[in-house]
Amino acid sequence: MHYVDPHIHMVSRITDDYETLARMGCVAVSEPAFWAGFDRRTVDGFRDYFRQITEVEPKRAANYGIAHYSWLCINAKEAEDVKLAREVIAAIPEFLDAANVLGIGEIGLNKNTRNEATVFMEQVELAIRHDETILIHTPHLADKLRGTRMIIDMLSDFPSLDRGRVVIDHVEEHTIRHALDAGYWAGMTLYPVTKCSPERACDLVELYGSERLLVNSAGDWGPSRPVAVPDFIVAMRARGHAEHLIEKVVLDNPLALFSRCRRYVPPTRVADRAGAAAGNARGVAASHRA
């Protein structure tokens, strides 16, 4: 089955992982800007990183027939330094015209601090000013519920924001409803120990339906499985779920979300599906415009 991994940090994966993803049926990945395992010291450090995810990774992915998209931002962890964060925010527009950029992300909260909230709001404003889609990281473990609800509080300051162009990522059993009920997309991250498992992601599809739901691996430099989305496909099949339902979650849904970006060009291998998905997405978005 063809699929898309809408949240994976390929800068921290080896080239063999691209080959494995291709063998598994992956036609596209999207890579949000994140913390690289160390705090970068200057805005130019971020400029180099943005070049990596807008120029280098797309070429690496293309070698295996995979389309590579990216999102730009200053992540929540490095947002604690508000001065540097503002320099990065000012630099982001230099890269917004890159062909593979889908929008602003993954912005969000990490420890739910005031500085993180300030930088989050300024990046939502940046996205709105530039008419960009938004991908949002929610905190982990004990901080997730509070952080997710704080994020939804802050987004309510922007009543004209098109909720169908915003993903609230890393949802679990106790936060998924908050994201979906407010009209946002919800991303389920299949990540060992700290997040969702493939079986629990299947549970959430059974309980909440497949509308505006995404599944991703968040594969990064931590212990993670870049093939977590195929794990989900296998788990859904084992329960006897229909192929078209699985395909909607792992292929049509991410493509529908991506199509809300004005620069978006569908992955060539699934261009026919992507067109249909785009129409579908506009319908979904219109019905959830706040």
Partner 1 sequence: MPHAPTQPAFDDQRFLAIRSLLVELAASLDRTERHASVGTASLTTDPRWKLVVAAIERLARGQGRAEDLQMLFSDPYEATWRRDGGPTLAGSPGCCGR
| Contact footprint for partner 1 (CB under 8 A) | 9, 34-37, 75-77, 106, 110-114, 117, 137, 139-146, 149-150, 153, 170, 172-174, 189, 191, 194-195, 200, 203, 205-210, 218, 220-222, 224, 238-241, 245
* Closer residue to partner 1 (CB): 7 or 163: 7
Encoded tokens for 83: 């001065």
For the bound state, the minimum distance from the C-beta of residue 176 to partner 1, rounded and expressed in Å, comes to: 9
Stretch that binds Zn ion, among 35-43, 72-80, 195-203, 214-222 (CB under 5 A): 214-222
Please give, one letter per residue, the 3-state secondary structure of 111-134: CCCHHHHHHHHHHHHHHHHCCCEE
Other beta carbons within 10 Å of 27: 23
Stretch that binds Zn ion, among 15-23, 194-202, 217-225, 269-277 (CB under 5 A): 217-225
Nearest to 204 by CA among 168, 236, 229, 226: 236
Task: Tell me the helix, strand and coil percentages in the chain, rounded to 5.
Answer: 50, 15, 35
For the bound state, the minimum distance from the C-beta of residue 189 to Zn ion, rounded and expressed in Å, comes to: 8
* Closer residue to partner 1 (CB): 104 or 274: 104
* Closer residue to Zn ion (CB): 218 or 277: 218
Query: Could you say whether residue 95 binds Zn ion (CB under 5 A)?
Result: no
Half-sphere exposure of 174 (CA within 13 A, CB side): 13
* Closer residue to Zn ion (CB): 68 or 288: 68
- Rounded CA-CA distance 236/197 in Å is 12
Query: Could you say whether residue 69 binds Zn ion (CB under 5 A)?
Result: no
- Rounded CA-CA distance 212/234 in Å is 21
- Rounded CA-CA distance 239/249 in Å is 15
Query: Could you say whether residue 34 binds Zn ion (CB under 5 A)?
Result: yes
* Closer residue to partner 1 (CB): 68 or 137: 137
For the bound state, the minimum distance from the C-beta of residue 206 to partner 1, rounded and expressed in Å, comes to: 5
Encoded tokens for 52: 């990596």
Q: Which residues bind Zn ion (CB under 5 A)?
A: 34, 218
